Structure 1
Amino acid sequence: MPDTALETRGLTKAFGGFRAVRGLDLKVRRHAIHALIGPNGAGKTTVFNLLTKVHVPTEGQILYEGADITREASAAIARRGLVRSFQISAIFPNLSVRDNVRVALQRRLGTQFQFWRSGRTLTVLDEEAMRLLAEVGLAEAADARAADLSYGRKRTLEIATTLALDPPFLLLDEPTQGMAIEDVDRIKRLIRRIARGRTILMVEHNMSVVADLCDTITVLQRGEILAEGPYAAVSTDPAVRAAYLGGGHA
């Protein structure tokens, strides 16, 4: 089995005359934690949108586990196991924590679009829902209303609903954005735990998170790779330091 889980070749996205991503050649190693970092406007979110088919590439290829998925629809990408957790928390605020996870688990029953069915049909998912909540440290809050959770715990719940799909490849978009220090530490421990046996590609601005978690870091600037490697290498790269300290808006 090849060591590369995801690869892009010459990936490009143009919006009119502006190229947000320019000829990106990216390789994400299987079972690694890989970070995309860069100044604001560097193209990080556009790359995520290309990988999950929010945007269609202007040029280039996307390969997942050796298969060309460049023209596949977003639903097909998710079925292959590339699942994205969004920068803005996406949960059902008026449902309980447990019910949020049970809704995410409905796909396993094939009833996710059968909205007329009784909620009692979801009770068969209780054990799995509680297992996932225990995995992310939310078991004691199972009966709480999702809206009543702190911001950091809402993001944790979102990750739990993402894990309900049992994805082999997880894309995390700014998982610690806006969090207090104690929540950041909790999310770091969670990411490290759920990374076992999974591949994770993350966009993250918090450099302490990147330094602690990531095997490989790709630094983007103006839609191109500026530097790549372990944190110790990229953090001392003069071009990277200039991009962060000297502005570098794309």
Structure 2
Amino acid sequence: MSAAAASPAAARGEVILSARGLTKEFFGFKAVSNVDLDVRSGTIHALIGPNGAGKTTVFNLLTKFFAPTAGTITFDGRDITRTGPAEVARLGLVRSFQISAVFPHLTVLDNVRVALQRPANLATQFWRSNRLLDRLDARAMELIEAVNLADSAHLQAVELSYGRKRALEIATTLALDPPVMLFDEPMAGMGAEDIGRISALIRRIGEGRTILMVEHNLSVVADLCDEVTVLARGEILSQGSYATVSADPRVKEAYLGSEHE
């Protein structure tokens, strides 16, 4: 693990990503209202809630795909409220999406090599020879091995199962060496075997990193997450450990109860 991932400016347990009064309106409808959120360095933090609770909107606000109507966002002590998504990613706040975003007809190795070109300052140097790009192979294989895809390095991404495509996406995200990773429903559409595999992977890569994830699978949240924020109707309903929020009667009524009826 590189110095960037192992030593983010915020020490473990200190707030590295925060929002205050975060609000987003769409044509007069408040999708998110006055959200205060603190994500601490070195933790795995989940955003949960029923459909329509505002989880993905908060995610899009934090990663700057949406501009907030009101409120502020701070990353590692820096106000990023008006910063664009590309610059936020360069600062080390990198996200994945619900739909796997890999190049289907490139091999696993080539997908990771493409992702490595930006931190290696080769992203726009398309005229460079393959020989120069070959120097990325060793690091690419390290990342591929880290997500348990070494046996598939020379397969095209389209040949992978859904869960292994998600593992490849995590490898391409890791290529940017971010201290903070945001996963939007990483277990969506997976069977039990893939869920177990990706959960173990997230736990492993979370060592020395900070992870914020939107997730519907409560068993995954209970098993993985240090901190949980529950949203309902665009507002924070409860925050704390999984044990704390799962015991909150408001949470049971709004979310957990419907999962266990």
Q: 1:218 aligned to 2:248?
A: no
Paired residue for 1:84? 95
For residues 89-146 of structure 1, what are the alpha-carbon distances to aligned partners after superposition, in whole Å with 9 as ceiling and x for unaligned? 0000000000000000001232212334444432110000000011110011100110
Deviates more, 1:120-129 or 1:209-218: 120-129
Q: Provide the secondary structure at the position in 1 that maps to 2:117.
A: helix
In the TM superposition, residue 159 of structure 1 has moved relative to its aligned partner by: 0.5
Paired residue for 1:204? 215
Alignment match of 2:22 (pick from 2, 8, 11): 11
Alignment match of 1:106 (pick from 110, 117, 120): 117
Paired residue for 2:6? none
Q: 1:181 aligned to 2:157?
A: no
Q: Provide the secondary structure at the position in 2 that maps to 1:31.
A: coil
Trace 1:234-249 onto structure 2 (pairs within 5 A): 234-244=245-255
Q: Distance in 1 between matches of 2:122 and 2:41?
A: 32
Q: 1:94 aligned to 2:105?
A: yes
Q: Distance in 2 between matches of 1:173 and 1:76?
A: 20
In the TM superposition, residue 244 of structure 1 has moved relative to its aligned partner by: 2.0
Paired residue for 2:177? 166
Alignment match of 1:50 (pick from 61, 65, 68): 61
Q: Number of residue pairs matched? A: 247
Q: Distance in 1 between matches of 2:166 and 2:39?
A: 24
Paired residue for 1:233? 244
Alignment match of 2:81 (pick from 59, 70, 80): 70
Paired residue for 1:21? 32
Using the size of structure 2 for normalisation, the TM-score is 0.92
Q: Provide the secondary structure at the position in 2 that maps to 1:170.
A: strand
In the TM superposition, residue 75 of structure 1 has moved relative to its aligned partner by: 1.1
Deviates more, 1:104-113 or 1:178-187: 104-113
Q: Provide the secondary structure at the position in 1 that maps to 2:104.
A: coil
Letter in 2 for 1:52: T
Q: Provide the secondary structure at the position in 2 that maps to 1:47.
A: helix
Using the size of structure 1 for normalisation, the TM-score is 0.96
Unaligned stretches of 5+ residues in structure 2? 1-9
Q: Provide the secondary structure at the position in 1 that maps to 2:81.
A: coil
In the TM superposition, residue 246 of structure 1 has moved relative to its aligned partner by: 7.0
Deviates more, 1:212-221 or 1:119-128: 119-128
Change (3 A) 1:234 1:246: closer
Quick check: 2:246–2:256 contact (8 Å CA) kept in 1?
no
Q: Distance in 1 between matches of 2:60 and 2:193?
A: 30
Q: Distance in 1 between matches of 2:133 and 2:234?
A: 44
Q: Provide the secondary structure at the position in 2 that maps to 1:109.
A: coil
Identity %: 65
For residues 1-43 of structure 1, what are the alpha-carbon distances to aligned partners after superposition, in whole Å with 9 as ceiling and x for unaligned? 5610111000100011101110010001111000000000100
How big is the alpha-carbon RMSD for the aligned residues of Structure 1 and Structure 2?
Answer: 1.3
Paired residue for 1:34? 45
Q: Provide the secondary structure at the position in 2 that maps to 1:107.
A: coil
In the TM superposition, residue 183 of structure 1 has moved relative to its aligned partner by: 0.5
Letter in 1 for 2:73: I
Letter in 1 for 2:187: T
Paired residue for 1:137? 148
In the TM superposition, residue 212 of structure 1 has moved relative to its aligned partner by: 0.3
Q: Distance in 1 between matches of 2:199 and 2:77?
A: 30
Letter in 1 for 2:27: G
